[in-house]
Amino acid sequence: MSSNSQLGNRKLIIGGFFCLIVIIYLCRLFYIQVIDDQYKLDAEKNAFRYMTEYPVRGYIYDRKGKLLVFNAPSYDLMVIPRETKGCDTLGVCEVLQITKKEYLKRIKKASQAPNSPRKESIFEKQMSAQTYATLQEKLYRFKGFFVQKRTVRKYPKPIAAHLLGYVGEISKEKAAKEVYYKEGDYIGITGLERSYEDVLRGKKGTRIAITDVHNKIIGRYMDGKYDTLAIPGKPLYCSIDRDLQEYGEKLLTGKKGAIVAIEPSTGEILCLISGPSYDPNLLVGGKERSKNFTKLYYDSLNLPLFNRALTAMYPPGSIFKLIDALIAQQDNLINRSTVFPCQMGYPPMGGKPKCHAHGGGKNLPGSISASCNSYYSYVFREIVDQRKYPNFIDGYNHWRDMVKSFGPGTRLGTDLPYDKPGNVPSVEYYNKVFGKNGWRSNTIVSLGIGQAELTLVPLQMANVVAIIANRGYYYTPHSVSGVGIEKKLDQRFKEKHYSGVQDPTAYLNVIDGMQGAMEPGGTAYASRVKDVVVCGKTGTAQNPHGQSHAVFLAFAPRDNPKIAIACIVENAGFGGVTSAPIVSLMIEKYLKGKTERLELEKRVIAADLIHGINVLGSGQH
Amino acid sequence: MGRNENSIFYGVDRVSLLVYVTLVIMGWLNIYAAVYNEEHQNIFDTSQKYGMQLIWIGGAAVIAFSILLIDANFYTVFAYAFYGFFIVANILVLFLGREVKGSHSWFRFGKFGIQPAEFMKFATSLALAKFLSNQNIVVNQQFRLRLKDLIKNYKNTIFALLFIIAPLIIIIKLQNETGLAIVFISFIIVLYREGLSVGFLIFGLLAAILFVVSLIVTNLSGLLITLAVIAAASFLFIRRTRKNLIVVLLVYIAAAGVVLATNYVYNHMEDHQKVRIDVLLGRGTVNLKKEGYNVNQAKIAIGSGGLLGKGYLQGTQTKYDFVPEQDTDFIFCTVGEEWGFLGSTVVIFLELFLILRVIFLAERQRSDFSRIYGYGVASVLFFHLAVNIGMTIGLMPVIGIPLPFFSYGGSSLWSFTILLFIFIKLDANRLLILR
């Protein structure tokens, strides 16, 4: 007792010590609970499993509402490696027809980063319906496995593969770069699937599930309050005509080449055909897909994956004379009655370029109908060497600018990926080839008849004829007429682009010549269409590697044109022989719904130029 | 209530009683939250731990009433008897007890288990109070260095320490329950209050610091050399007499002894104990999936609570078993996760308030016995509070001791109830004692 009074202050020290410890603890608690967010994130990682809900990809329809692409269910076999204890391993191998070694390899892959033994990974992609059926019966024995339903693209008609493109697994690099995607996701790789990916894919949703310490799903987080629904992809209304596309592909059977048709009044692409093509249904599905892709990829004879309509750069040949004629008239260098001599060739250069027998010097329309080489050698040099310009370099640049205003030499800016610009050679290029001052207009005179270094892709050829059909303007060719149910169209496809030639008479004279080509004495008289005024132009693109490519372009009807179309068939010789019949059949089909020239149709389809069976015969020019 | 001298509530401190009841109910609700699952939603379901806890709470109420019914003198008179009884019980349990997780510390009665070590706490408090309150026994305050004086003056201190160390050794060494045993260290606070020399405490504190330092510093000989240099350097500041030389030498030997002992103890620890110390001190790489799992998950659960918590029964970390032992030693995680910083503060303040209240009551006692016992109660409660919450927030090593009145478990709840209510009874009796 006596000491108690002396020790009285010790109660304060003890009480103070207790309080101090508690204050330290509260500071620590405040730090980890309120200030540091890491623990909240860790807690989410612990207990939340974010499950992706895949949206349905948008359907694609043609201009008349006919289905081009839809979705079919597909089944992925998923595995959570940790939960495969007691699984009937051999059963899995048997159903999937894989070896035990392969099984272990896949389990290992699913267990390693970026996968995890606790999380689901794809074990077998897109099983066939048959495999899925057998699997379903035995699934209860396959512990740790489950089936995830997804969708794959399906095509009611095996057409338009190049235009539609295909969907495939995203590349690792791209998945790492783009926030929306993660590895294993599907993305449009080519064609419309690529350019309209953002619209078609929709938006992934997320379901938040709560898991316990054993990674077992306990339920939904907050009854799904924070879940986001998958938003389905929007439908795409393609501007192509399914029947026309199908018909064109049929006509192009056994031939390498391309057909592109445009509706001149809107710039909508009516068909975009590249031959040889392939059945788009080949490039869906798991195992089949990669097998088929490899096969198509290595088909060096046909190059079926090569989209000629957009990427093959062909010399245009005689169809280019249309542009020359328009430019020269705009420059007041020639008029309807201008006549240039032709002596089976271009006289000033000793008959080169050569020409064919068409009965003497022609006036302007006649020169187009008969496709006179001499005439356009004169015209080309008139343009380049015209007095307005102090030297021919300026004249050449003027010609080049005018040509480019019709599309060649630049990418048209269509809504399809990977189109090529073609080539209109520059002054610099020729300076390099011939040396500065080493060339004149006569050196490059063959440009005037669409040869030499001049190249166009088939889409550009179709666009040129659309400009003529419109008498001087075009809309950027596009293959989609509307996005979504509201059918919205990108503003840039509603903009008129004008060519450098705006003189109506110039167009009238050229169109008269084109009409003449389809009349007696014209280069394509054989391909006339009954009751329809077709305006066409043949072309023969010389090919250093073999037989010339046959080119033909046309629009119809002459007044108020509904279709502008270009066709090129490789190694088919004179344009009037193979390409003109194809174009005329297409026009007939499009305008009348059917053709009456069944015999011609049969012969066109039967012509197999790839294997050298040409029932159409080959022309001289 | 309690106006009547014959009422058992006569003189009972209502504030303590209220806080006690609040804590017990909060504990029960949090056990329900920690064990909660969809299939067993009935809070009275005795197949679940919260149902069982209700039974334990009922038992605790009966015990509390009984303690208040019995004459206060009973505890004073039988203090040594209680101590002896439970020392024997703790030895007997080694032979009669059932083995649980490698330790023989449980008596089993069918569905129920009792851990006698839990009850050693109040028995030791009683015995210590009895010993220290005896006549003129005072724990010595002077600090001298002559050996003869040392033994004479510290005789009582050494006896008092024996009261503490005996159960500690039995429980730690024989029953293998380190957590329960370490609690007895808290009685040092009682000795301090009763006059234990500050020098002794400083010595202890220095030893503790050396202990931690020698755990962190792995280079043992380097540490010993450093200490020798410090000892030598001390002569720059003190007179170089023969006596001082001996003192410094003795201090150095003691320090070296601590270092070597620490090393010895650490090397002879069980692996899981070593790991717990490693985790706390951040020695080596801590694998959060193995040895670091408990503490990391506890911190995640508490840390994810934020300011206001996720709401009752909304905690994902505790409810879905990410936190181990979430109903017993890690019950505070449920509080932290579901009630946030605010709820955690309330719980800690309630516990602290009860402890300070006990100190306040102890100081107003006229009898030394009651005061000393009161300090025993406060010390034991505080030790539990500090270690239990400290380990969930990573400030203490993981030592498996419960949060008083909160954690699941009959033995701990009952032992804390007995501990507290004997004091409440003693306090209620304070006015009668010297009448």
Distance CA A606, CA A251 (A): 8
Q: Does A34 touch chain B (CB under 8 A)?
A: yes
Residue A340 DSSP class = B
Contacts of A24 in chain B (CB under 8 A): 395
Distance CA A332, CA A342 (A): 21
Close Cβ partners of A140 (under 8 Å, ≥ 6 residues apart): none
Give the chain A residue whose CA is nearest to the CA of B140: A3
* Predicted pLDDT of residue A263: 96
* N-terminal to C-terminal alpha carbon distance within chain B: 23
Query: Do the strands B98-100 and A563-569 form a parallel or antiparallel pair, or are they unpaired?
Result: unpaired
Residues A91-121: b if buried by 16+ CB within 10 A, e if exposed: ebbebbeeeeeebeebbeebbeeebebebbb
Close Cβ partners of B120 (under 8 Å, ≥ 6 residues apart): B86, B87, B90, B167, B171, B180, B184
- Which of A35-39, A381-385, A506-510 bottoms out in mean pLDDT, i.e. has the lowest? A35-39
Q: Report helix, strand or coil for A382.
A: helix
How high does pLDDT run on average in chain A? Answer: 87
From A74's Cα to the closest Cα of chain B, the distance in A is: 34
Most confident of A16-25, A67-76, A88-97: A16-25
CB-based burial label for B150 (10 Å; 0-12, 13-18, 19+): middle
Contacts of B316 in chain A (CB under 8 A): 43, 46-48, 210
* Predicted pLDDT of residue A621: 39
Question: CB A26 to CB B345 under 8 A?
Answer: yes
Using the predicted structure, report yes or no on whether residue B321 has a pLDDT greater than 90: no
Confidence of residue A162 (pLDDT cuts 50, 70, 90): very high
Residue pair A68/A164 in contact (Cβ under 8 Å)? The answer is yes
Confidence of residue B290 (pLDDT cuts 50, 70, 90): low
Using the predicted structure, report yes or no on whether residue A106 has a pLDDT greater than 60: yes
CB-based burial label for A358 (10 Å; 0-12, 13-18, 19+): buried
Encoding tokens for residue A298? Answer: 């290595």
* Segment B393-404 mean pLDDT: 87
Distance CA B125, CA A61 (A): 88
Most confident of A130-139, A204-213, A384-393: A384-393
Instruction: Tell me, yes or no, if the two domains A50-100+110-238 and A242-293+309-606 fold the same way.
Output: no
Residue pair A389/A395 in contact (Cβ under 8 Å)? The answer is yes
Q: Does B193 touch chain A (CB under 8 A)?
A: yes
Domain boundaries, chain A: 50-100+110-238, 242-293+309-606
Contacts of B395 in chain A (CB under 8 A): 24-25, 28
Give the chain A residue whose CA is nearest to the CA of B342: A30
Quote the ipTM score.
Answer: 0.87
- pLDDT tens for B63-102 read 999 999 998 889 999 999 999 999 999 888 888 877 766 6
Q: What sign results for the dihedral spanned by CA atoms A20, A24, A27, A29?
A: negative
Residues A361-380: b if buried by 16+ CB within 10 A, e if exposed: bbbbbbbbbbbbbbbbbbbb
Question: CB B304 to CB A40 under 8 A?
Answer: yes
Domain boundaries, chain B: 14-196+286-433, 198-268
Distance CA A73, CA A133 (A): 13
Using the predicted structure, report yes or no on whether residue B127 has a pLDDT greater than 70: yes
More confident residue, A229 or B47: A229
The strands making up A217-220's β-sheet, listed across from edge to edge, are: A48-53, A205-211, A217-220
C-alpha distance from residue B86 to each of A176, B80, B419 (Å): 67, 10, 14
Q: Does B316 touch chain A (CB under 8 A)?
A: yes
Q: Does A28 touch chain B (CB under 8 A)?
A: yes
Q: What sign results for the dihedral spanned by CA atoms B139, B142, B143, B144?
A: negative
Confidence of residue B291 (pLDDT cuts 50, 70, 90): low
Pick from A18, A38, A208, A213 the residue to mutate for testing the B interface (most B CBs within 10 Å).
A18
Which of B120, B131, B183 shows the shortest CA–CA distance to B158?
B131
What is the CATH code for A242-293+309-606? 3.40.710.10
Distance CA A406, CA A344 (A): 30
Question: CB A29 to CB B352 under 8 A?
Answer: no
Confidence of residue B349 (pLDDT cuts 50, 70, 90): very high
Using the predicted structure, report yes or no on whether residue B1 has a pLDDT greater than 50: no
Which of B384, B366, B412, B396 shows the shortest CA–CA distance to B106?
B412
More confident residue, A229 or A218: A229
More confident residue, A275 or A583: A583
Residue pair A483/A510 in contact (Cβ under 8 Å)? The answer is no
Give the chain A residue whose CA is nearest to the CA of B358: A15
Q: Does A30 touch chain B (CB under 8 A)?
A: yes
Residue pair B131/B160 in contact (Cβ under 8 Å)? The answer is yes
Contacts of B345 in chain A (CB under 8 A): 26, 29
Distance CA A74, CA A131 (A): 11
Residue pair A103/A157 in contact (Cβ under 8 Å)? The answer is no
Residue pair A288/A579 in contact (Cβ under 8 Å)? The answer is no
CB-based burial label for A269 (10 Å; 0-12, 13-18, 19+): buried
Distance of CA A119 to the CA centre of its chain: 37
How high does pLDDT run on average in chain B? Answer: 83
Using the predicted structure, report yes or no on whether residue B418 has a pLDDT greater than 80: yes
Encoding tokens for residue A382? Answer: 């008139």
Question: CB B303 to CB A43 under 8 A?
Answer: yes
Encoding tokens for residue B364? Answer: 């107003």
* Predicted pLDDT of residue B103: 67
Confidence of residue B253 (pLDDT cuts 50, 70, 90): confident
Confidence of residue A37 (pLDDT cuts 50, 70, 90): confident
* Segment A154-180 mean pLDDT: 88
Question: CB B303 to CB A39 under 8 A?
Answer: yes
Give the chain A residue whose CA is nearest to the CA of B372: A4
Question: CB B382 to CB A11 under 8 A?
Answer: no
3-state DSSP of chain B: CCCCCCCCCCCCCHHHHHHHHHHHHHHHHHHHHHHCECCECCCCCCCCHHHHHHHHHHHHHHHHHHHHHCCCHHHHHCHHHHHHHHHHHHHHHHHHCEEECCEEEEEEECCEEECHHHHHHHHHHHHHHHHHHCCCCCCCCCCCCCHHHHHHHHHHHHHHHHHHHHHHHHHHHHCCCHHHHHHHHHHHHHHHHCCCCHHHHHHHHHHHHHHHHHHHCCCHHHHHHHHHHHHHHHHHCCCCCHHHHHHHHHHHHHHHHHHHHHHHHHHCCCHHHHHHHHHHHCCCCCCCCCCCHHHHHHHHHHHCCCCCCCCCCCCHHHHCCCCCCCCCCCHHHHHHHHHHHHHHHHHHHHHHHHHHHHHHHHHCCCCHHHHHHHHHHHHHHHHHHHHHHHHHCCCCCCCCCCCCCCCCCHHHHHHHHHHHHHHHHHHHCHHHHCC
Q: Does B340 touch chain A (CB under 8 A)?
A: yes
Encoding tokens for residue A442? Answer: 């006569």
Of B322, B344, B382, the CB nearest to A213: B322
Question: CB A30 to CB B352 under 8 A?
Answer: no
Q: Does A19 touch chain B (CB under 8 A)?
A: yes
Fold category of A50-100+110-238 in CATH: Penicillin-binding protein 2a (Domain 2) (3.90.1310)
Residue pair B169/A34 in contact (Cβ under 8 Å)? The answer is no
* Segment B295-323 mean pLDDT: 82
From B307's Cα to the closest Cα of chain A, the distance in A is: 5
Query: Do the strands A236-238 and A480-483 form a parallel or antiparallel pair, or are they unpaired?
Result: antiparallel
Contacts of A14 in chain B (CB under 8 A): 189, 192-193, 359, 375, 378
Using the predicted structure, report yes or no on whether residue A2 has a pLDDT greater than 50: no
Q: Which residue has 């067993």 as its token pair?
A: B40
Give the chain A residue whose CA is nearest to the CA of B351: A22
* Segment B295-306 mean pLDDT: 85
- pLDDT tens for A507-562 read 999 999 999 888 887 888 888 888 899 999 988 888 777 788 889 999 989 999 99
Using the predicted structure, report yes or no on whether residue A18 has a pLDDT greater than 90: yes
